[in-house]
């Protein structure tokens, strides 16, 4: 479930709680969590201090001193957080960075879908080279979106969820952005004319700018985001907030897509 707003909320909390902390030891409870690296690779973090925390799309980059970076991807059920006592972690913690002051930086992930790996800075840039620009960055412009849309015959929803043209959008905010733009999630991206794509550009930024403070205020972990206000996602059968038609759902790319059949053309 964590998408750009939720990951941003996690990153902002980590900046406050983990900045400057020294890593005393590392424990990997399930080797799959560090795949494709071996668990022993993460021991390179021992003795380093956390210099900063950054988000790139859905990736969390925990920058250490002396040129190392821990890359974390939360996937569907992961959460990266600081616990008060490293000894008192839950059974669903997959990776534990014990901090010198006794606290713990943990990847808690019930379904074991997330990953934690460690890299030199040059390797990070190479690994993320194909990740598209952040939709709230200066690099993401109407012209950028239009240029990539004209080259893609993929359905609009799947286009937005692909992290190559744009990073950070997932099932929830792709659906919400398409609703606000009045775009049918089934239609090919290259079938939309410029006015619709301009609306989509504005919608993506509007939806995320609203969602980020909501996430910072109320998001704690996957499944606990009481402050989330949605207009189509997970509202099958409920009336559209614009036209009162029933919200529809269909399977698309292995995920549920929600939309209004009257408002989205």
Report pLDDT for 121.
86
Residue of 3, 6, 176, 180 with catalytic role:
3
Residues of the chain above pLDDT 70, percent: 99
> Is CATH 3.40.50.2300 what the domain over 142-259 is classified as, yes or no?
no
Tell me the pLDDT tens digit for each residue of 166-183: 999 999 999 999 999 999
Stretch 55-83: mean pLDDT = 96
Report pLDDT for 225.
74
Is 239 catalytic? The answer is no
What is the CB-side half-sphere exposure of residue 240 using CA atoms within 13 A?
19
Q: pTM for the complete prediction?
A: 0.94
Is 255 catalytic? The answer is yes
Is 2 catalytic? The answer is yes
The 10 Å Cβ neighbour count of residue 47 is 14
Residue 229, CA distances (Å) to 47, 122, 179 in order: 42, 39, 14
- 108 backbone dihedrals φ, ψ, rounded to 5°: -105, 120
Quote the tokens at residue 185: 């999630």
The β-bridge relationship of strands 219-221 and 248-252 is unpaired
Residue of 2, 39, 155, 185 with catalytic role:
2
Domain ranges for the chain: 4-127, 142-259
Quote the tokens at residue 48: 């380093």
> Is pLDDT of 223 > 90?
no
How does residue 226 score in pLDDT terms, banded at 50, 70 and 90? Answer: confident
Tell me the pLDDT tens digit for each residue of 75-109: 999 999 999 999 999 999 999 999 999 999 999 99
Cα 109 from chain centroid? 15
Contact predicate 95/53, CB 8 Å: no
Topology alike, domains 4-127 and 142-259: no
Q: Which fold has domain 4-127?
A: N-terminal domain of MutM-like DNA repair proteins (3.20.190)
Residue 128, CA distances (Å) to 12, 46, 50, 123, 125 in order: 21, 24, 21, 9, 5
């Amino acid at each position: 479930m964590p998408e750009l707003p939720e990951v941003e909320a996690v990153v902002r909390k980590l900046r406050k709680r983990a900045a400057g902390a020294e890593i005393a030891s590392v424990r990997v409870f399930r080797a799959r969590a560090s795949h494709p690296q071996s668990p022993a690779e993460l021991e390179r973090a021992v003795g380093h201090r956390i210099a900063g925390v950054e988000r790139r799309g859905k990736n969390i980059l925990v920058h250490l001193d002396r040129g190392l970076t821990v890359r974390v991807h939360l996937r569907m059920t992961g959460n990266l957080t600081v616990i008060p006592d490293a000894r008192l972690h839950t059974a669903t913690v997959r990776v534990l960075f014990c901090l010198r002051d006794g606290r713990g930086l943990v990847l808690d992930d019930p379904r074991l879908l997330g990953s934690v790996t460690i890299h030199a800075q040059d390797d990070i840039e190479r690994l993320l080279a194909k990740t598209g620009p952040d939709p709230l960055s200066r690099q993401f412009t109407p012209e950028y979106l239009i240029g990539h849309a004209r080259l893609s015959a993929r359905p609009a929803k799947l286009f937005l969820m692909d992290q190559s043209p744009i990073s950070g959008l997932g099932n929830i905010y792709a659906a919400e952005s398409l609703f606000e733009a009045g775009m049918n999630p089934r239609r090919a991206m290259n079938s939309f004319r410029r006015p619709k794509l301009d609306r989509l550009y504005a919608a993506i930024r509007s939806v995320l700018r609203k969602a980020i403070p909501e996430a910072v205020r109320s998001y704690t972990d996957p499944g606990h985001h009481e402050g989330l206000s949605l207009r189509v996602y997970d509202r099958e059968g409920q009336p559209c907030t614009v036209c009162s038609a029933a919200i529809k759902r269909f399977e698309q790319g292995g995920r549920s897509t929600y939309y209004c059949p009257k408002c989205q053309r």
